[in-house]
Structure 1
């Protein structure tokens, strides 16, 4: 199993003054954090795309290109690219460029995104939410598999004998994942297309996702795909420290304040400490604690779902850079090796 880290590029917000951290500062910190991930042997990094004042990254591919120049081994992908409001031609070109810079380490994770700001920003209508995603994903796959493309759709100008460059290293093909939330339709679509899926388990009890994993696997087999190519992962909010209670107490204000900021726009009730405590329990969705606790919970989740990939989403609310670096070090040097060792048995 591959173990990696995902980030959204959250900017830290002062709870007293409301002042938002400078994007320049956070971007430089992120590059330093990715460099450390590579040094401690983490398998992959995923960068999110957002178009809001409280996030630093609107173009994951630019961050990944910068990271490619200071890393050697870690895979570099989006988490996610909001494909519904992107141009698949430009998206492929940008990520194939990252692939060439990084010597074949680039990936795309296509998703709908957790916010909707990109739709009006790039001139799309939310009533086309589903058809945009499906059409643009299909076009991206067509480009990924063919150097010269002929294509006609509803939401973009047609392509007639258009050759698309530069091409990625592996015969022009980039690894393309699909991020899914909790809908059966999304899971079946990914399985039909033969695409690996990343489930975002960011609330409630992970075991509730078990039926979706079973549906995905059955649809994968029913559509004639080989199980040797089967890949499935989870993305879970995580943070690590040397002392379980200390790191949980440290992280709670960052996490709860971000949950409340997001919740305010979605009609959620105020986030409660009891939710946080349940999330950290064996039945919850949070992996926040020391190395031993985290190892046990990651193994538990992996065995429950038969994972090939685990992504620790580590910057919710933007903890201090020093604490992020420490959490990355613990994850790479203590957690990742022990999880891999246990899963080999």
Structure 2
């Protein structure tokens, strides 16, 4: 017996093919080719400008995630998304991700719902845990509560999203007693699409399927097949719990850099990804592992437009996902080079990928 899913789903028209978008984590790093780092104020404006470029190129989604460490400017990512809401007219906007573990779900909903109203109903939330954990101490939380914080606060965020008035009792915040949480989105659900970000954990994918929420999975590198098991488990668990897996959207995300010539793309982009990983994660990206991205079976979407189309179609065949989000500004990529990738993506990649991934109802 199929459950009636209580959660708010993103509106994705599968008859138009897989949605394709971009995301930024707000990196503020030196350009490894020049050694220069632009001011934080200019970096923030560049992210807004990239969102406008993405809309002009016909892309579907633009996301901004939060990070609280050095070399990032996205600590207040929802404020940045509010600016993007005002600078654009059509493109969907989303967090990617909001670290719900160290945030107050009431405040997150208030802010995201306000952005939804400002943008004419274009806002979505991706809720995650944080792969870089310095913000736990910064914001006054214990890493010992890493899992419990996320599960409790994600559950509360869903309850708020689906009920204007909420009664709540938990471990990590004061109770809510018939609390009214406003403003509400002006749609028939009076709520927002909320995705669960899933990292390397099979149990997290299983939990997303158990409660029937959309799943968002970011990939750093490696063969696409290595990530299939989490998506399969998510859908199997959803089915076992009475949900229709065909009605549950799946999104993937990863590095993207496009040039007319594949080897130019790899030569230009490697210093960005290597130096960026050193600054953000403490160690670089192995050169051999990056070079393996040239294999069509790799999840790293770097190369020529033709190569990217082939890789994205391979990934779609593997995952049967509804949305792909490319990270194109990692490691100090200049705005001019971001624009080159967006132009090639919009002109040569998107039309081909969408043409081959259109689905009729039931497929």
| TM-score between both structures, scaled by the size of structure 1 | 0.95
- Alignment partner, residue 259 of structure 2: 241
Instruction: Map 1:175-186 onto structure 2 (within 5 A).
Output: 175-186=193-204
- Alignment partner, residue 319 of structure 2: 305
Give 1:190's match in structure 2, choosing from 208, 227, 245.
208
Instruction: Identify unmatched segments of 5+ residues in structure 2.
Output: 1-17
- Inter-partner Cα distance in structure 2 for 1:344 and 1:80: 27
Q: Is the 8 A contact 2:125 2:194 kept in 1?
A: yes
Instruction: Map 1:1-345 onto structure 2 (within 5 A).
Output: 1-13=18-30, 15=32, 20-170=37-187, 171-264=189-282, 268=283, 270-344=284-358
Paired residues in the alignment total 341
- Inter-partner Cα distance in structure 1 for 2:95 and 2:296: 29
Instruction: State the shift of 1:314 in Å.
Output: 1.3
Instruction: State the shift of 1:237 in Å.
Output: 0.9
**What's the CA shift string for 1:19-39, capped at 9, x where partnerless?**
643211111111111001111
Q: Give the number of the structure with larger relative contact order, counting CA–CA contacts within 8 Å between residues 6 or more apart.
A: 2
Instruction: State the shift of 1:133 in Å.
Output: 0.1
Instruction: State the shift of 1:272 in Å.
Output: 3.1
Instruction: State the shift of 1:110 in Å.
Output: 0.3
Instruction: State the shift of 1:84 in Å.
Output: 0.2
**What's the CA shift string for 1:171-227, capped at 9, x where partnerless?**
321000111112111011111121111111112212012221211111011111123
**Secondary structure of the structure 2 residue equivalent to 1:5:** strand
**Secondary structure of the structure 2 residue equivalent to 1:69:** helix
| TM-score between both structures, scaled by the size of structure 2 | 0.90
Instruction: State the shift of 1:109 in Å.
Output: 0.0
CA RMSD in angstroms comes to: 1.6
Q: Is the 8 A contact 1:20 1:54 kept in 2?
A: no
